[in-house]
Amino acid sequence: MSLLVQKYGGTSVGTVEKIQAVADKVAAVKRSGDDIVVVVSAMSGETNRLVALANEMQENPEPREMDVLLSTGEQVTIALLCMALKARGCDARSYTGTQVKILTDESHTKARIQSIDEHNIKTDLNSGCVVVVAGFQGADQHGSITTLGRGGSDTTAVALAAALKADECQIYTDVDGVYTTDPRVEPNACRLDKITFEEMLEMASLGSKVLQIRAVEFAGKYNVPLRVLHSFQEGPGTLITLDEESNTMEQPIVSGIAFNRDEAKVTVRGIPDTPGVASKILAPIGEANIEVDVIVQNTAADNTTDLTFTVNRGDMEKAESVLIEATKELGVQEIVTDDSIVKVSIVGVGMRSHAGVAATMFKTLADENINIQMITTSEIKISVIVEDRYLELAVRSLHEAFGLDKKD
Ligand code: ADP
Ligand code: ASP
Ligand code: MG
């Protein structure tokens, strides 16, 4: 007998029929003798609908109220799934994050899980119940509802699997595993049987939303066996593994290509080139809670410098107004913003032991006439910023150049 945590994403519970199909699956697992905790997302489109409603009420709704609102989406699906399970003769009990006692910090809309009280869940499992938990939510020490950031149901599932020492955490979604790149952009993408935590962390942080980055971090930290599978098609899916050595023999140099459309660029031109200017520009951005990603500084012959950095697209206008204020005394020439950029990245632990990977990447993009605006590298990834209209072309040509295309 195993203990499984299964998570079903929004598209997998997007209609009454799909919730019933999930109930059929879960009831079958239960009948086969395994214990099962199910985590569900809101029905697809529901969280976006709630965000849109909030924006009609107020320009910048308070994060605390956002969380009260957004957590309702998952509350609907846990109750419906329990009803469907009971209709199949399978005893089931639903829990919101607050009811479980998923304790988080107080960062509304992007809270982090601090602890989970597994007592009630264990009691229910022991009495033969299927436990159904609302993803994406918890409560802080004052009892206020919090949410874990978009895609956060993945993290709920992994955290529960860690707390309950489950045999496997299975993330069921609308693709049958983790692919070499998003199969919706590159139809020649291949499903990976395995991917290391390290690579999956990079892929997730560079924009592959198949798993939320915090879920991968959690699984790596607590050694949770994690697998991505298709909700309604049989198959082995993709195992996220710690085991880097076992497949080094045929380890490809590049394992995957990630991209992020949610990028914008801010350039401050003609800054007097003196010590401390980068800090004078970036410190107020940090203080305004804006995350900065890629940074490039160029020095001109006339003792001035240009500083360019990228932020999430939604933060671009805020960054611009913060900078207009912050650079008043500095005497800069101009501040320019551009939200028609994307970031494309190649990822692979095999890059550690191979030279020339960057050269291949840059030549591939040059051959397609794609101009690289910014570059950033780490041991196992190279990212470039390019104009957004080149996204598909860049992903597909790199996919082919690094030998990732499906071989039929
Ligand atoms: P869910 O609602 O089940 O959480 P998501 O939409 O969050 O599903 O994540 C699944 C989607 O992730 C897929 O439909 C796919 O378009 C996208 N995706 C991006 N990169 C990858 C990748 N490398 N492998 C598989 N899917 C990917
Ligand atoms: N419903 C939330 C979202 O759309 C959480 C999740 O689906 O994981 O982001
Ligand atoms: Mg998701």
Percent of the chain with pLDDT over 70: 98
Percent of the chain with pLDDT over 90: 86
Question: Residue 248 — very low, low, confident or very high, per pLDDT cuts 50/70/90?
Answer: very low
pLDDT at 350: 86
| 101-140 residue pLDDT tens | 999 999 999 999 999 999 999 999 999 999 999 999 999 9
- Atom nearest to 151 CA in ligand 2: 8
Ligand 3 (ion): which residues have CB within 5 A?
A: 9, 151
208 lines ligand 1 (CB under 6 A): yes
| 196-221 residue pLDDT tens | 999 999 999 999 999 999 999 999 99
- Atom nearest to 171 CA in ligand 1: 3
Judged against a pLDDT cut of 60, whether residue 21 lies above it is answered with: yes
CA of 119 to the centre of ligand 1 (A): 33
pLDDT at 324: 92
210 lines ligand 1 (CB under 6 A): yes
Confidence (pTM): 0.93
Q: For residues 348 and 346, give the distance between their C-alpha atoms in angstroms, rounded to a whole number.
A: 7
Ligand 2, from 8, 39, 47: best to mutate by most atoms within 8 Å of Cβ? Answer: 47
First to last CA, the chain: 39
- Atom nearest to 74 CA in ligand 2: 1
How much is the mean pLDDT over the chain?
A: 94
Q: For residues 195 and 383, give the distance between their C-alpha atoms in angstroms, rounded to a whole number.
A: 19
Q: For residues 315 and 289, give the distance between their C-alpha atoms in angstroms, rounded to a whole number.
A: 9
Ligand nearest to C-alpha 39 = 2
Is 361:346 a contact under the CB 8 Å cutoff?
Answer: yes
Is 147:136 a contact under the CB 8 Å cutoff?
Answer: yes
Is 394:344 a contact under the CB 8 Å cutoff?
Answer: yes
pLDDT at 337: 97
CA of 110 to the centre of ligand 3 (A): 15
CA of 175 to the centre of ligand 1 (A): 7
pLDDT at 249: 46
pLDDT at 245: 56
pLDDT at 250: 57
- Atom nearest to 212 CA in ligand 2: 8
47 lines ligand 2 (CB under 6 A): yes
Is residue 122 packed enough to be buried (19+ CB in 10 Å), middle (13-18) or exposed (0-12)?
middle
| 215-246 residue pLDDT tens | 999 999 999 999 999 999 999 999 998 876 55
pLDDT at 246: 53
Judged against a pLDDT cut of 50, whether residue 329 lies above it is answered with: yes
CA of 11 to the centre of ligand 2 (A): 10
Using alpha carbons, select from 68, 71, 128 the residue that is nearest to residue 95.
Answer: 71
DSSP for 24-77, written as a single string: HHHHHHHHTT-EEEEEE-PPTTHHHHHHHHHHHH-SS--HHHHHHHHTHHHHHH
CA of 308 to the centre of ligand 1 (A): 30
184 lines ligand 1 (CB under 6 A): yes
The amino acid occupying position 393 is L
- Atom nearest to 177 CA in ligand 1: 25
Q: At what angle do helices 357-367 and 391-401 cross, to 10 degrees?
A: 130
Is 132:78 a contact under the CB 8 Å cutoff?
Answer: yes
| 336-370 residue pLDDT tens | 999 999 999 999 988 888 888 999 999 999 999 99
237 lines ligand 2 (CB under 6 A): no
pLDDT at 353: 83
Using alpha carbons, select from 179, 162, 173 the residue that is nearest to residue 238.
Answer: 179
| 366-408 residue pLDDT tens | 999 999 999 999 999 999 999 999 999 999 999 999 999 988 6
Our CA dihedral for 43, 49, 50, 55, rounded to 10 degrees, sits at 170
CA of 112 to the centre of ligand 2 (A): 15
Is 399:405 a contact under the CB 8 Å cutoff?
Answer: yes
Rg for the chain, CA atoms, rounded? 23
Q: For residues 211 and 170, give the distance between their C-alpha atoms in angstroms, rounded to a whole number.
A: 11
pLDDT at 103: 98
